Structure 1
């Protein structure tokens, strides 16, 4: 799972950098919240989770790691697409942001449970 997290984090890195470049070139910064969330929850958080899973293979081999991976990668696009619409003035996108955000929090809780349960001195 660690390698999968690292590889998908690079995809989010490219998306975040391209979005930042677009905003800079157009001097329109409406999507700054989307850029920041993709960069932190996509690139940084997933890369760090991947490195943790590589360092502690016992944790990466669990069902919890798989659930974390899929919750993170389903929720982030839902939340970011919803947020892009929301900052563009489409208030009907609020449920997408809330749904994606809730799933993201659940994924991070699953990650925390996995770490506390499977990372120890014997890992």
Structure 2
């Protein structure tokens, strides 16, 4: 699972950086929250999770790791698309942000449980 996390995190990194470049070129920074969350939750958090899973393969082989991977990668696009609409003035996009955010929190809680349970000396 570690390598999968690292590889997909690079995709989020490219998306986040391209969004940042777009905002810089147009001098319109409305999507800053989207840019920040994609880079933090997509690039940074997933890379770190991947590195932890590479370092501790016992944790990476669990069902918790697989569920974490899928929850993270379902939640982030839902949350970021919703957030992009929300900051663009579409108030009805709030539930998408809430659903994506809730799924993200659940995935991260499962990650924490997995690490606390399966990472040992």
TM-score when normalising by structure 2 = 1.00
- How many residues in Structure 1 have an aligned counterpart in Structure 2? 121
Q: Distance in 1 between matches of 2:53 and 2:120?
A: 13
Look up the match of 1:26.
Answer: 26
Q: Distance in 2 between matches of 1:97 and 1:36?
A: 15
Structure 1 unpaired stretches of 5+: none
Q: 1:9-48 counterparts in 2 under 5 A?
A: 9-48=9-48
Structure 2 unpaired stretches of 5+: none
Q: Distance in 2 between matches of 1:33 and 1:17?
A: 13
Q: Distance in 2 between matches of 1:4 and 1:11?
A: 11
Look up the match of 1:87.
Answer: 87
Q: Distance in 2 between matches of 1:53 and 1:6?
A: 10
TM-score when normalising by structure 1 = 0.98
Look up the match of 1:5.
Answer: 5
Q: How far off is 1:79 after superposition?
A: 0.1
Q: Distance in 1 between matches of 2:45 and 2:110?
A: 14
Give the 4+ runs in structure 1 shifted more than 3 A: none
Look up the match of 1:68.
Answer: 68
RMSD of aligned alpha carbons? 0.2
Q: Distance in 1 between matches of 2:118 and 2:86?
A: 38
Asked whether 1:110 is paired with 2:110, we answer: yes
Q: Distance in 2 between matches of 1:11 and 1:5?
A: 10
Look up the match of 2:52.
Answer: 52
